[in-house]
Amino acid sequence: MDFSVKTNDVVKLASPCLVLGVYQGEKATLTPLGERVDSAGGHQFTRFLKRGDFSADAGVIQMFYDIDGIKADRVMLVGLGRQSNHDPICQRNVISKVTSVLSAASINAADLAIFDGLPETMSAYSAARNTIESVGESLYQYTATRSDKKKPSPLKKISLVVAKEQSKETRRAVTQGRAIAHGVHTARTLADLPGNICTPTYLAKQAKDLQKTHSIKTKIVEEAEMKRLKMGSFLSVSRGSREPAKLIVMEYSGGKKGQKPVVLVGKGLTFDAGGISLKPAGGMDEMKYDMCGGASVFGALVAASEMDLKLNVVGIVPASENMPDGAANKPGDVVTSMLGKTIEILNTDAEGRLILCDALTYAERFKPAAVVDIATLTGACVVALGEHASGLFSNCDSLAEEIEKAGQVAGDRAWRLPVWDDYSKQLKSNFADLANIGGKGAGAVTAACFLKHFANNFDWAHLDVAGTAWKSGGAKGATGRPVPLLVEFLINRAR
Ligand code: BES
Ligand code: MN
Ligand code: ZN
């Protein structure tokens, strides 16, 4: 997709499709650019809006042809909802509708002039970035294992029409939005692959290949080295599978030499059958998505490098399967983590924390400025927050606030839950330092509390993305979340 920024007069713009915005209110109102088109064309749109057929709900669309007084072939009016409700999430909705209508009508280029009446809470930068990201999101298609490939969308060019004063920040937004869209695309592409293709070895190979296209340095820690490092917890999970585990380490060094890096740790469980505590059959296919946290780390690094971010970032992805096998963990087994803490495995399906705890200990060697782990960790988080917000947990209030804010700005929200010692007590074991499950109640919290035990030496946050990283049902597929949140967080860190 070719994105550009234009400052041309909307009336004189030779466009296959000029898109104008309408806000809801006591009456539906065009933005100033829309009014300009309206005046040039003899107030056709004002008359139309007066009829009251057009609700101006976010994403409602009406097409017009052969409008007098302007150069564009078509005008699309799109509802933007109430101006006060026009936030990043609403905007994404709007853009996704616009994109699909343009695609369906086989229109190959469009000029969006909908950014001149933004609410005070939304900057031109944020609106533009959201738009680019949302177009990318809407045009994503899974093709890897289909022989009946759909035709790619005919839509090839999108321009953002803005005032001269806003063109500079809009250009910056386009560059960054494009990088984020690539990051999201990377994450979705990896996550949607089936478990028989996307194995730990496949992920490691993709990470190696990133070195050819991006300024990323990759190192793969193999099982033999994990043994030397005493990653007994991580290795205990992988022992139950025929696929060797990989600890993928990717470094992007855009910051000053010696600057402490932000470390992102992503759960890369390429298939989670539950192990001996086998999961029920229904919907088990979706456990190929148990590597979405890892995929988001790939995506964030791709985006950071494509936008040439001035920051050092390390991505760590512990990759493994969780399978039932003669050598698999058994309930009651006790393993020793790299940190030396012993863990009683009461449920082999709580494997994410078992691979993450050793990856967190490994992260210490980078002397991190902060560590953020991302994991499809618990079904309990889906119960608590559904698909709208990722669960956020942290041992540092300022870091938690940074992440919460980043999510808000990026339209990829997270909501904080506690990691109090009261909950940590649920992880008591009679036979080890820690149990890997916390019993009834607050499953997302006790999982986070487990990880917190391995994050004593740095500022740490944990994102449980079990509810946000993919969609079930008819539209089953990866969402690429929380790449937008992560990259927004990194952008702010680079300031
Ligand atoms: N990968 C799952 C978490 C999950 C479950 C994500 C459903 C999305 C949807 C994780 O490894 C897991 O199995 N967690 C268990 C923990 C339990 C045994 C304490 C869960 O949530 O059921
Ligand atoms: Mn599991
Ligand atoms: Zn899992």
pLDDT digits (tens, 9 = 90+) for 25-46: 999 999 999 999 999 999 999 9
Which candidate in 71, 171, 208, 279 is catalytic? 279
Closest CA to 432 of 344, 347, 355: 344
> With a 6 A CB cut-off, is 346 part of the ligand 1 pocket?
no
Which candidate in 267, 353, 452, 481 is catalytic? 353
Instruction: Tell me the percentage of the chain whose pLDDT exceeds 90.
Output: 98
What dotted CATH number matches 182-494?
3.40.630.10
What integer is the mean pLDDT of 327-335? 98
> What separation in angstroms does the CA of 252 have from each of 210, 214, 309, 312, 367?
11, 9, 9, 6, 15
Domain ranges for the chain, please list them. Answer: 2-154, 182-494
> Angle at the Cα of 114 (from 108 to 116), degrees rounded to 5?
145
d(CA 285, CA 438): 26
> With a 6 A CB cut-off, is 381 part of the ligand 1 pocket?
no
pLDDT digits (tens, 9 = 90+) for 83-136: 999 998 899 999 999 999 999 999 999 999 999 999 999 999 999 999 999 999
Q: How far is CA 429 from the centre of its chain?
A: 35
pLDDT digits (tens, 9 = 90+) for 345-354: 999 999 999 9
Query: How are beta strands 157-161 and 2-6 bridged, if at all?
Result: parallel
Residue of 349, 353, 387, 445 with the most ligand 1 atoms within 8 Å of its CB, for mutation: 349
Instruction: Tell me the percentage of the chain whose pLDDT exceeds 70.
Output: 100
Question: Is the bond preceding 482 in cis, omega lying within 30 degrees of 0?
Answer: yes
Q: Which fold has domain 2-154?
A: Leucine Aminopeptidase, subunit E; domain 1 (3.40.220)
